[in-house]
């Protein structure tokens, strides 16, 4: 028998709510989360959009705690997309500094929980100070064996696939790879995180029903759950509800199951 985990338990939810008990074989292994609705949350309160982003920090931490409690092993958080550069310069500057500071503020706590942090995203245009904090967090937590948290900063699904295909094409041109041997498994090996498991459950807050270019390759067979709560109001109970909906669905992966026929 294995001994007790060396990691600290996440803080309990203030309401006293506890995670549902779900068979580990039925749990989603990898949950991807689009943290949407920060701006609308702030606008509804007459606040600057940046206040919504600030309020969303606690929601993310609570969701990480809830993922650990329910038994999810991989969690991806969409923190800054390649399309977010189109926002106003003031908001982009805020988001760069905010992401940097969140990682710095929370990495020790996540480390205590046994979280292994991984950065997924492009280097170009990203602030050097943000990259430094992401890499420091990765190094600090690289030996942890609890939840893996993919912090997706300057990330885009199409960009990720395009970059992977570019690297693959260069290897074919250099003779290191035969074009005739390229298949989907080959492409997957060229992704920046080739060991990332496929997304089982794709969750988006705020009521919007689109993927917004997040983990396109990995989400080919993901179950989609769209929830109406704005991200700053979101917490682990919403995550658990999404997980329960996932568990209650029938996954077929392109197959089909005939309904039983009635007897004579």
Would you call 183 a catalytic residue per the annotation?
Answer: no
**C-alpha to C-alpha distances, 131 to 2, 40, 57, 235, nearest whole angstrom:** 36, 28, 19, 27
**Cβ-contact 69, 90 below 8 angstroms:** no
Helix (H, G, I), strand (E, B) or coil at 132: helix
Please tell me which residue in 23, 36, 198, 235 is annotated as part of the active site: 36
**Cβ-contact 218, 193 below 8 angstroms:** no
Would you call 84 a catalytic residue per the annotation?
Answer: yes
Q: What is the Cα–Cα distance from 230 to 123, expressed in whole angstroms?
A: 29
Please tell me which residue in 62, 84, 144, 238 is annotated as part of the active site: 84
Q: What is the Cα–Cα distance from 202 to 213, expressed in whole angstroms?
A: 12
- Active-site residues, by number, are 36, 84
């Amino acid at each position: 028998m294995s001994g007790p985990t060396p990691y600290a338990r996440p803080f309990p939810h203030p309401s006293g709510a506890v995670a549902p008990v779900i068979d580990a074989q039925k749990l989603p292994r990898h949950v991807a989360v689009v943290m949407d609705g920060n701006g609308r949350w702030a606008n509804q309160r007459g606040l600057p959009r940046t206040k919504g982003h600030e309020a969303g920090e606690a929601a993310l931490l609570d969701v990480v705690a809830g993922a650990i409690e329910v038994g999810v092993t991989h969690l991806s958080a969409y923190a800054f997309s390649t399309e977010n550069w189109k926002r106003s310069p003031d908001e982009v500057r805020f988001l760069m500094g905010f992401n940097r500071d969140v990682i710095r503020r929370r990495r020790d706590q996540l480390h205590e929980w046994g979280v292994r942090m991984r950065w997924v995203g492009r280097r170009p245009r990203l602030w050097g100070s943000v990259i430094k904090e992401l890499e420091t967090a990765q190094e600090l937590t690289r030996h942890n064996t609890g939840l893996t948290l993919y912090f997706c900063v300057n990330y885009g699904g199409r960009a990720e696939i395009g970059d992977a295909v570019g690297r693959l094409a260069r290897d074919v041109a250099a003779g290191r790879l035969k074009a005739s041997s390229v298949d989907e498994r080959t492409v997957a090996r060229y992704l920046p995180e080739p060991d990332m498991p496929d997304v089982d459950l794709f969750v988006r807050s705020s009521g919007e029903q689109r993927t917004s270019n997040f983990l396109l390759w990995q989400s080919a067979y993901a179950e989609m759950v769209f929830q109406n709560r704005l991200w700053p109001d979101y917490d682990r109970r919403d995550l658990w509800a999404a997980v329960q909906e996932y568990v209650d669905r029938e996954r077929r992966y392109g197959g089909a199951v005939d309904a039983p026929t009635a007897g004579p």
